[in-house]
Amino acid sequence: MCGRSPRKMEKSGPPAKRKARRRGWIKPAALEAALAIVAAMTSAGITVAGESRLPSDTGIAIRWAPLFAPSAHTVYLDPVWSADGKFIYFWQEEFARGAKPMGPEVMRFDLASGELRQVARGRSPDISSDGRWLLFRGGNDDSLTLKDLESDTETNIAREAYRPAWVGAGQFIYYLAPQHELRLVHVPGLGQDILMRFSLMPSAWRLAPDGALLAVCVPTGGRRPDEIRVVDVRSHRGLKIAEATCRGLPVWSPDSQLVAFAASRQRAPGGTAPKATRRIYLYDVKAASLRLLTDGPNDYDPVWSPDGTRLTFARQATHYDSSRDCELLVYDCRSQQTTTVATSRAPILDIAWSPDGRWLSYRAYATVDSGHKLAGGVGLVRSDGSLGAVLTHPPLFPVQWSPNSSRLTCLSLPSASAGTRLWLIDVTHDTHARCPS
């Protein structure tokens, strides 16, 4: 990764170059190769600075800019959109060499007025779907706090909470408490129920959108694979659907009828896949049936489309070779066909659908001819694979789409002179639209 700008590296002289080599920063030769990639992308109709007009007569333009002028000694993390798309919440922490850290703060940025203000002391904000409630973690511990944005009151929910998440339309929060208890918080009454108790810490779990079923990967101890279960949270009756090692979180379809997960198992149904092979499985709640969805050597990170008709996932050529091409694929549940919509020379991560289902974003990388890895970037592609671009300058990581699917928040990599920065990407059909400032 590049910790300084190329210009500063050229002016800093031989000692700085030796230091750059030790830290793995990009050498001048690698930068020349990277610029050659930029030139090739530009000739293809894709640019990598400020604005990108996609090829053909689509009228689609992509623009990006910093959300606001950042502080040189501040890290910005976890931006989330309000339900109406008017605000972006995130947390920041200031640091300076020789100074005591200020502590994390939850901030709110008003996109209309440009106002930036603190709303809480803490980190990792999450907004309810109705926009009323702000959930965040403690500044220096694992406590969980809920803030009513209408009354400006805060309520501590738990002293220790792991992987909290919203379920329902801002009505419930679930989290894992100590002693391996999965708890459900009723908002706004704030009463709590114990949904499940586990003898061992579950490796992954996800509550269905309707809150009725829980998909959970429970370790069995020793060298045996996990048990993947679907549990009725009211009756606590569960059904073991597979014995496999979970690879990531299970994901529910929006209608709570299908759950997809990536797992490794000794032998797939009707196949001879080795244990180290990751594949995508699909469980149908109504039919009580499990089937193997993919046959790739290393498939991972399934994500449902907003309407539940398509499932996207990533595929790596082999489990151990990260230098081989990766693919972003979309499975259509109606036609049962799988389509490759994008490729990358490094693992594809952080896949997300735009709320309207038209775009897919993912974390991408660019490599240069000499083999040195260029910093990460944002991959954008139409869900049908018809249009796409990878934006690698500045190096950004995608985070979350706006509710109207026109914007995407991103984080830039920290450098030697500054922390992370928040960026906003505009995807618009209006080629005369102004870039956000």
Query: Per-residue pLDDT for 272 more than 80?
Result: no
* Separation of alpha carbons 90 and 420, rounded Å: 12
User: pLDDT for 192-218, tens place per residue?
Assistant: 888 888 877 888 889 999 888 999 988
Q: What is the CA radius of gyration of the chain?
A: 23
Max CA separation in the chain (angstroms): 69
Taking Cα atoms as reference points, which of 294, 292, 306, 303 lies closest to residue 348? 303
Confidence of residue 10 (pLDDT cuts 50, 70, 90): very low
Confidence of residue 71 (pLDDT cuts 50, 70, 90): confident
Confidence of residue 9 (pLDDT cuts 50, 70, 90): very low
Task: Name the strand (E) or helix (H) holding 341.
Answer: strand 337-344
Q: Per DSSP, what are the bridge partners of residue 349?
A: 363
Mean pLDDT of the region 137-141: 79
Confidence of residue 52 (pLDDT cuts 50, 70, 90): very low
Evaluate if pTM is beyond 0.75.
yes
Q: How confident is the model at residue 39, as a pLDDT?
A: 37
Query: Per-residue pLDDT for 321 more than 80?
Result: no
* Separation of alpha carbons 231 and 207, rounded Å: 9
Q: How far is CA 408 from the centre of its chain?
A: 12
